[in-house]
Chain A
Amino acid sequence: MQGQGLVGMVAVAPKLSSSARRRQLREKVIAGVITAMAFTGIAALVLILVFVAKEALALFLDAEARHEASLSKMFLPQVTRAGRPATFMWQPVSSVPKVSMIPLFIGTLKTTLVSMVVAVPVGVAGALFAAEFAPRRLREVLKPTIELLAGIPSVVLGFFVLMVLASFMQDTFHVSSRLNALVAGLGLSLAIVPVIFTVTEDALTAVPRSYREASLALGATPWETAWKVVLPAAAPGILAACVLGFGRAIGETMIVLMASGNAAIVSASLTDSARTLSATIAAEMGEVVVGSPHYSLLFFLGVELFLFTFILNMVANTWTRRVLKRLSGAGA
């Protein structure tokens, strides 16, 4: 970034020998190649949306698919058997495919909410402790430890929930289904606590020292300073952390696949099995006929997941930048 101006000065020479001109040309080519490389990240993001959406498009273009999985069948209650009240059902491989996404939305929402209810207080409080109260030594141990938790592959967390946590919950609460939304949500919280912790901690450390010193000088206790001064100053960043955690929880696949029980049912109970959007893709993609309506449906779920998380990311990104801007502006 800063190198640019310097190079500009070197390049402006009045008369150039042929070797110098060759050199200049070579520099231009290299700069061009590097700039072209920078498009890869943007291209990847665009290609992901385009190619996932492309496979889902058949739902709207193909006559057979439009009949089998119309938007109204995806989102409105359907009469599945004569004489029965209309219901939401996800059974895309039965003889009469039922493709309501509502049970999947409910499942995703239930597991995600459980994980947020657990992970937000723990993650934010942990970060508050690390940033405000922990002695330096302890803090230097705490951060890498939580990074380590973030490094555990989600399939290992899913395994732990499946083998240990689910049995523990079953023995303690005697629920009817061992694998359920509550267990999956608790498992998810293991995956998103590090996210919330890290982003919150960054936001808290960005708060200028002068804020804390002013508060303490006015006679506030350390806790009052943390609660009434530091926390509000970093609030947008902490909200961003929660939004980011929410996005991760929605998209996380292996934990919910292994721990939720994978039953697509409409219920408000947390101890019923649940099926999430991501787990549905993971579980059904392997056996689906390429190009069938069911196949397109799974890609449509992918588009939804992509768009949900994209919006959440943009929101979190804006808020993080806002807190940094405000604090660096105020600190200067």
Chain B
Amino acid sequence: MKHTWRRAVGGALTSLTGLAALLIVALLAVILLDVVRGGAGHITWRFLSEPPSDGMMGGGIFPALYGTAALTLLMTLAVMPVGVLTAVYLHEYAPPGSLLARAVRVAVVNLAGVPSIVFGLFGVGFFIHFVGGNLDRLLGYQELHWGQPGILWASLTLAVLTLPVVIVSTEEALKAVPMDHRTASLALGATQSQTLVRVVLPGALPGILTGAVLAISRGAGEVAPILFTGAAYFLPDLPRAMNSQFMHLGYHSYVLATQSPDVEATRPLLYATVLVLLALTFALNLVAVLIRARTRRRAAAAH
């Protein structure tokens, strides 16, 4: 009798935890449904290809799409070499028990926890005022040229923010390359760098790509770090130079949601913009999941 009671209570509590898991999934579904229902009807080719009009009460989001793409492209170019080489150091070059490697790991963990708005402040203090300001002085510009918010500084700020993502996933990828491949290559007389370039990195490529995709999806969605480092409210022109300001999907959503004079009128526009941003990040995440699953299957098959 006591035993069945224990089982019943246990079962009830177990289902309670299941309910918690269900709640999380349900919340995700509610958010998705709401955004898709509110925005899907408004997404047309014209919406994607035209600039905003009527004081952002109409028109499309092309400059924001373009700005987001350019921003994340620059960010990826900046973060990938540094992130991949750092992971290569950690996994391939660091001597066992290396103090530097341990320090790098601690730094990476902490970097991942720095609030995104602090990255924004860092971008202003370091990139714009320190690097940009000194660059202007050095080049003899009288007016602000580099010492002002621009797409280069915003993307470098995001590169610092996404550095931990790239390092962690690249290291995972390096771990997945079998030790035998390295020993075989070295035994054939290849040097360590030849082994790295011809054997280890190609073997780790899918995992490295996963890291890139995750970094892009994270970087494309972050708004707080670019608020003062380069994103603009509204621009008639696309960014042409590294120091131009740019429009951004996330920032555009924020502006439409909070500063619109008539929220009811902009609602469809707003929902459609958010849907595009959400679809973009989800598509990227999905790609990452797929690459990872394929790599894992192949790794399992190789063993």
* Contact between B111 and A45, CB atoms less than 8 A apart: yes
Tell me the chain A residues, 118-165 only, with Cβ under 8 Å from chain B: 121-123, 125-126, 128-130, 132-134, 142, 144-149, 151-160, 162-164
Instruction: Give Cα distance in the complex from A77 to B267, angstroms.
Output: 42
* Contact between B21 and A40, CB atoms less than 8 A apart: no
Instruction: Give Cα distance in the complex from A236 to B252, angstroms.
Output: 41
Instruction: Give Cα distance in the complex from A10 to B129, angstroms.
Output: 48
Asked if B11 is an interface residue, CB under 8 A from chain A, the answer is yes
Residue from B89, B103, B186, B270 in contact with A10 in the complex, judged by beta carbons closer than 8 Å: B186
Asked if B31 is an interface residue, CB under 8 A from chain A, the answer is yes
A126 touching B20 in the complex, CB below 8 Å, given contacts A48-B122, A148-B282, A153-B223: yes
- Name 28 A/B residue pairs within 8 A (Cβ), A-sorted: A1-B96, A23-B191, A34-B92, A39-B100, A42-B107, A45-B114, A48-B118, A125-B19, A129-B18, A142-B25, A144-B289, A148-B285, A154-B221, A156-B221, A162-B257, A197-B24, A223-B10, A223-B11, A223-B14, A253-B224, A257-B258, A281-B117, A282-B224, A285-B124, A285-B228, A286-B227, A302-B117, A313-B112
Contacts of B112 in A (CB 8 A): 313
Task: Give 18 new A-B contacts, CB below 8 A, not counting A52-B118, A223-B9.
Answer: A3-B92, A3-B195, A4-B93, A51-B126, A121-B20, A122-B20, A126-B24, A145-B25, A148-B28, A149-B28, A163-B34, A164-B34, A223-B14, A257-B254, A258-B257, A285-B120, A285-B121, A299-B125
Asked if B193 is an interface residue, CB under 8 A from chain A, the answer is yes
Residue from B17, B129, B186, B257 in contact with A159 in the complex, judged by beta carbons closer than 8 Å: B257
* Contact between B285 and A1, CB atoms less than 8 A apart: no
* Contact between B250 and A248, CB atoms less than 8 A apart: no
* Contact between A44 and B250, CB atoms less than 8 A apart: no
* Contact between A309 and B113, CB atoms less than 8 A apart: yes
Binds A, one of B41-49, B50-58, B134-142, B273-281: B273-281
Residue from B115, B124, B193, B277 in contact with A309 in the complex, judged by beta carbons closer than 8 Å: B115
Instruction: Give Cα distance in the complex from A10 to B282, angstroms.
Output: 47
Asked if B36 is an interface residue, CB under 8 A from chain A, the answer is no
Cβ contacts B48-90/A at 8 Å (1 or 0 each):
0000000000000000000000000000000001100110111
Contacts of A313 in B (CB 8 A): 109-110, 112-113
Asked if A184 is an interface residue, CB under 8 A from chain B, the answer is no
